[in-house]
Structure 1
C-alpha cells in the first residue's frame, strides 16, 4: 500500500467527530448523553463535520476524472442534510416527486438534480420538466413514451439518458442489487442501440447519454470496472451509429464497513473511472449516498428492560424496527456504543431488541458490551444512511426526531412526530358517491 493510500485509509477510519471524552461518548465535542437529556430518546444524531470531510475527500479524489457528485437523496432526505451537501456544491439524485420537493426546499438548483427510479408518474415527470432538472434517467420503453408525451403537451424538450442494465453482479446483498438481468432496474444493454436511435429522432427528447447503477453497499470495487467497461463499449457502438453520447451517469453504491473497519478505497474507485470512461470525453456524474452520510449518524436509544430467556439475556430498548429498518430488512448489524464508558471490564452478551410486536424487531446479538441496566443509553453507529429516511410510524409509534451537531452546537432538524400530529390526518371527510355496481356483477 502506498503512503498516500495508507493515509487515505486512515482518514476514512478516523471518525474523529466521535470520541469518548472524560468517559462520555461525544460527537464533535458534545456529550451525546447531555443531548439526550434535552431530546427524548430514541432520536437520530448526525455530525456535520463528518459529512463535510467525506464529501471533500471524495471530491478531491474524483477531481482528475472531472466527475461531479449527485448525492443519493434516498439515503438521507432531511432538508438540513441536503442543504449542507448543496453548500458543498453537491447535486442531488432523486427517485420520487417528494425527494424533488425536498431538494428544492434545501435550495438545490434544479439544474443539478437527476431523476432516477423505475416508476415515475406523469405528475412527477411534469413537475420535473417544469422546474428544469438536469436530466431524467429513463428506465423502460413504456416510461420513454410517457416522457415524450408529457414533453409534447408541455411544448418542451425533455433531457434524458437511458439507464443501462449491464447484467453485472455487484456482489452485494440480493435486496440491493440492481444491475443483473432480471432486476427491475434499467433497460437490457442489448436493447439500448435500437431504442437510442429511435429516441434521437424525437423532437420532444433531448437525448444526452447513458446511466448505470449496479447496486448498493459495494465493498469490492471490481464490479464497477466490469460495468464501466461494458458501458464504454456501448458508447463506442452508439457513436459508430452516428449517435451523440455526451453524458455518463455512473451511479453510486460505494459501501461502508459497519464495524468501523476499512471500506473501499476511493482513490482506487476514481482510478477505475479514469481507466474505463474518462477518455470518452463525456460529462461524468457519480451518485454516492451511504458513503457520504452513513458513518456520520447514530441512533440514540435507552434500555427499557432486561429479560432472561434461557441462556439469553435480552435488552429491550425504546428504539425499534420502525425507527431503523436495516436489521430486520437486510439482517444488518450496527455497532453498539454505550454513551458512558464503564470501568467495569466485564464483557456481557446481550440480544438487543425493540418493543414492536414483530419477531423480526431484533437489532442483533452482541457479545462484547459492558453491563447494561434499565436506563442505560446506547447508540447504534453508522446509522446516518437508510435510517430516518426509511422510518415509519408502525405500531402507531412516534416518528422520531433528528438532530444535527455542527461546531460545538446542536439543533433539532426534524421534530418528533407524535400521535397527536398523526390523528388529525385520519379525520373522516364527507361521504362521496359514485355509480353502484349492478346486481349482475359477479361476486368476488
Structure 2
C-alpha cells in the first residue's frame, strides 16, 4: 500500500495535489510520501517482532537526508557501502552502533573513518580486505568487529545484474573457504569475528532461495561455534521484492518472509540483522514528469517526457518496469498505445514500450510509480542535464528536500586549465 491516490480526479501524494508540486517546484521531480515510508518500515519491523532484530536500511536505495532522518526516528539502523553513505547516515541521526559497513572495495581511509565512528560491524568480502582492516585497526589500537559475507552459491532467480549470491558473482567469500577465513580472523591482530553475513540478491519474488540460503547459514553458524568462534550476529541482507507491475502476482508479504525466518533461524540464539532498501522506499516515491510532445512515428506513437534516463536509470540499465499514470484522470479519455521516452540522445532513453494509456498532449503531467528506491541516487548529469529536485510530503505539507541543480551550478563545477585562461 502507498499513499498516492486520486482525489477529485487529481493524483495526490497524501493530501497534496501533484499539480501543486509541479507548479511550485517544476518537473521532473521525485516526490516521496512520509506516511508510506514509515508504514513500510513498521510493517517490516512488525513481521519480526518476536525476534527483535536490527533493521538497517540500505542507504544505497535512497540516501536523501530527509528519508534517512525519517527512518532514524522509527528506530532504523543503516547498511552503508561507502564513507559518504556512512557520513550521511550519521548526520541523519542514525547511531553508529546501528550501522553496518558492506561493500567489496572498502579503502583504508573508509575503514579508519568507520572505526572512529564506532560502527556495529564490517561485512568483509575478501582476504585482502581482512588484512587491510587488521592493519588499520592495529594502528588505531582498536578491535574491528567482523562478519564475513559468505557466498552460499544460491541462485536468487532474479535479474542477472542484481544477483549477488552465485559462485560467479563478485560478492562474498566462497562457502567452501569459511573455515580457513575465520581461522585467519582469529590469527590477525585487531579483528574479532562476531557474525556471518549473507545477501543473495535484490527484488526476489519467491521465498525458496531465501530459505535455501538461510538453512545453509544455520549449519554454518553451528559449525563455526563448534570450532570456537563466538558468532553473535547473523546479517541476512535484504532482497525481498516489491510489486512493480500492478497486474502481476505480488511478491511475498513481509509477514510471510518473517514467519519463514522464524521457522528457520528462530532457535539459533543470534541477533538478526536485516538490510531492506527497496522494500521500504521503492513504492514510497514517484517521478513526476511532464509530457513535452506526442509524436507520431512510423507505425508507432511516442510520448516524449521531460524526465530522462539520467534521472531514472533503471529502465535503461535493467529493462525495469514502472507503471505510468496521468496526474489528471479522465475516465472518458480516448485510449492510446505508445512508447514513453525521454529527450536524451540515446535509443536506450526509453521508459516503456507499447504501453496502454489515456491519450495525452504536451503539458500533461504523469508519474512513474515505484521510483523511491534506486531512482534519484542513480541519477547523473548526462547531456548536461542538472540533477532534479526531490520533495517529501507529510499530510497536507510538502518540503523541497533537495533543490533542483541549476545549469550555472552544474557548469561551474568545471575548471579550465591555466593555459586556457586569458588574463
| TM-score range relative to shorter protein | over 0.9
Q: Secondary structure at the match of 2:267?
A: helix
Contact persistence 2:31–2:393 (CA under 8 A): yes
Within 5 Å, give how 1:363-402 maps onto structure 2.
363-402=351-390
Aligned equivalents of 1:419, 1:84: Cα separation in 2? 30
Q: CA deviation at 1:430?
A: 5.6
The residue aligned with 1:200 is 186
Q: CA deviation at 1:237?
A: 1.1
Contact persistence 1:347–1:367 (CA under 8 A): no
Aligned equivalents of 1:167, 1:382: Cα separation in 2? 30
The partner residue of 1:339 within 322, 327, 349 is 327
The residue aligned with 1:353 is 341
The residue aligned with 1:115 is 101
Aligned equivalents of 2:362, 2:412: Cα separation in 1? 34
Q: Secondary structure at the match of 2:49?
A: helix
Contact persistence 1:65–1:270 (CA under 8 A): no
Q: Does 1:95 align with 2:81?
A: yes
The residue aligned with 1:440 is none
The residue aligned with 1:283 is 271
Unaligned runs of 5+ in 2: none
Aligned equivalents of 2:66, 2:355: Cα separation in 1? 36
Q: Secondary structure at the match of 2:309?
A: coil
Aligned equivalents of 1:391, 1:41: Cα separation in 2? 15
Q: Secondary structure at the match of 2:38?
A: helix
Q: TM-score, normalised by structure 2?
A: 0.96
Q: CA deviation at 1:331?
A: 0.3
The residue aligned with 2:255 is 267
Contact persistence 2:54–2:98 (CA under 8 A): no
CA shift digits 1:347-386 (9 cap, x unpaired) = 2111000011111000012432111101111000111000
Q: CA deviation at 1:189?
A: 0.9
The residue aligned with 1:252 is 238
Structure 1 stretches of 4+ with a deviation exceeding 4 A read: none
CA shift digits 1:201-260 (9 cap, x unpaired) = 333012201100000001111111000001111111111212211110000011111123
Q: Does 1:324 align with 2:284?
A: no
Contact persistence 1:65–1:273 (CA under 8 A): no
Q: Does 1:240 align with 2:202?
A: no
The residue aligned with 2:154 is 168
Q: Does 1:27 align with 2:13?
A: yes
Aligned equivalents of 1:152, 1:230: Cα separation in 2? 33
Q: Secondary structure at the match of 1:64?
A: coil
Unaligned runs of 5+ in 1: 1-13, 432-444
Aligned equivalents of 1:430, 1:85: Cα separation in 2? 46
Q: CA deviation at 1:429?
A: 6.1
Count of aligned pairs between the two proteins: 417
Q: Does 1:81 align with 2:67?
A: yes
Gap change, CA 1:295 and 1:366, over 3 Å in 2: farther
Q: Secondary structure at the match of 1:284?
A: strand
Gap change, CA 1:349 and 1:199, over 3 Å in 2: same
Q: CA deviation at 1:126?
A: 0.8
Q: Secondary structure at the match of 2:412?
A: helix
CA shift digits 1:287-341 (9 cap, x unpaired) = 1000101011000001111111111010110000000000000001100010000
Aligned equivalents of 2:167, 2:356: Cα separation in 1? 42
Aligned equivalents of 2:205, 2:37: Cα separation in 1? 19
Contact persistence 2:333–2:359 (CA under 8 A): no
Q: Does 1:132 align with 2:118?
A: yes
| CA-atom RMSD in angstroms | 1.2
Aligned equivalents of 2:282, 2:355: Cα separation in 1? 24
Q: Secondary structure at the match of 1:301?
A: strand
Q: Secondary structure at the match of 1:63?
A: coil
Q: CA deviation at 1:63?
A: 0.8
The residue aligned with 2:55 is 69
The residue aligned with 1:439 is none
- Segment drifting more, 363-372 vs 394-403: 363-372
